[in-house]
Structure 1
């Protein structure tokens, strides 16, 4: 008889599934994972050890817990911590927007800052899964805002689900400002939240040009859920002092590094 777990026997896929179970249930036990995947105790111990070493979960006796919450700040905390560097990067991004464009805005504190940096006179159609961005642009008289509906994630203050994905897939946009949880040259774009992945992938697929604006601490980082390779981004705007930026340039990204005086 064919093994029903055959499709998830590859270690990388199994570890991805472990993270999904952890996000859903709030904890995992080694014994349950052994039964779920039909593998040995040693295999599960090794998987949990590798995930813990990568900072993706907290190893405890008999299983694992989510990593401490202070590794990922909530949306309103991040908005409140906006500094002069982020404002400057956001303004540089906003200056790339042209009248008459259809622009996608991913959720995030930086993309919100970009939206807030747009002049009130600009004429645009904006599509976003972020209610905060929709509200920020509501007083722009020549901006038509389309809010992708769906289930709201309180941690990210963004919508997800098939309704949001279908709407975004129906759009052919000129430009996307993608949110960046983590960006690694080899791993690619990754997210802390599984429910964001399908929406972020739909946004990437629907834009002719993709711009990522991020502070230095997001570069070289990895989160549990992979959205896509770095090559999906056309332009990366970041801080001047970032180390290892050549790795992104070698992947074909246009990299703009901003020095703040």
Structure 2
């Protein structure tokens, strides 16, 4: 197969999956890693993709945040598994913070058998999922409404969060990179996450495998701030092992 055909297939795979791994392409095309890396370098110079550790992702800018609805249907089965596994970490009587996002929403859907919980969240989606639960004291942070996300941001949200101390934070992220850390598309969301990180005894990051190797516009924190990361079985082993060497537990469900 000539390089032009390989390039077409690589771009088609990225359009479908938003990312590709070098090891996968080597196996698919039966060529060397050097050849695949050269292919990816050529496509990056043309602005058709972006190189990341171990592979490449879509050429969309780092500030582009896919809409909530489109994110909710992407990796939906994986997010459901992550949400269920994360919910099993929540005990009766816990106080928790639930970050905005499609994966944290799955956690909210799985805690209906818990009692005497305090849930603090900047997410209207999560609030609506829990509003009728008699065993949950629900606290919305207040703040400026991001209409597309139905999330609350700004100084009011950050000041509200600073007044609490919780057992567990379940935080999402737009990207996870061993060197860059946790990143997010929107600056105001990133600032709310940073406020949450300071108020939790235990920090659990929940993110499907598509977030690994991605770098969004705004930095949140180094990966070492997390006690554990909960993801799915498709998370690239090379990146998982790098993170585990930093002392962060990575659970794949």
TM range (shorter): 0.7 to 0.9
SS at match of 2:105: helix
CA contact (8 A) 1:127 1:146 kept: yes
How high is the TM-score relative to the length of structure 2? 0.73
Relative to structure 1, the CA distance from residue 80 to residue 208 in structure 2 (aligned partners, 3 Å threshold; closer, same or farther) is same
Task: State yes or no: 1:165 paired with 2:170.
Answer: no
2-structure distance, mates of 1:131, 1:158: 6
Once the two structures are TM-superposed, the CA of residue 129 in structure 1 deviates from its matched residue by 0.5
Equivalent in 183, 190, 194 of residue 187 of structure 2: 194
- 1:96-175 correspondence runs (5 A): 96-175=89-168
1:75-98 deviations in Å (ceiling 9; x for gaps): 122224462222111100000001
How high is the TM-score relative to the length of structure 1? 0.71
Counterpart for residue 67 of structure 1 = 61
Relative to structure 1, the CA distance from residue 100 to residue 119 in structure 2 (aligned partners, 3 Å threshold; closer, same or farther) is same
What's the Cα RMSD here?
2.4
2-structure distance, mates of 1:182, 1:251: 17
1:175-232 deviations in Å (ceiling 9; x for gaps): 0000111111000011100111211000111101011111111011100110111111
SS at match of 1:114: helix
SS at match of 1:231: helix
Equivalent in 233, 238, 244 of residue 240 of structure 1: 233
Higher relative contact order (CA 8 A, sep 6+): 2
Structure 1 runs (4+) greater than 6 angstroms displaced: none
Counterpart for residue 231 of structure 1 = 224
CA contact (8 A) 1:101 1:125 kept: yes
Once the two structures are TM-superposed, the CA of residue 251 in structure 1 deviates from its matched residue by 1.2
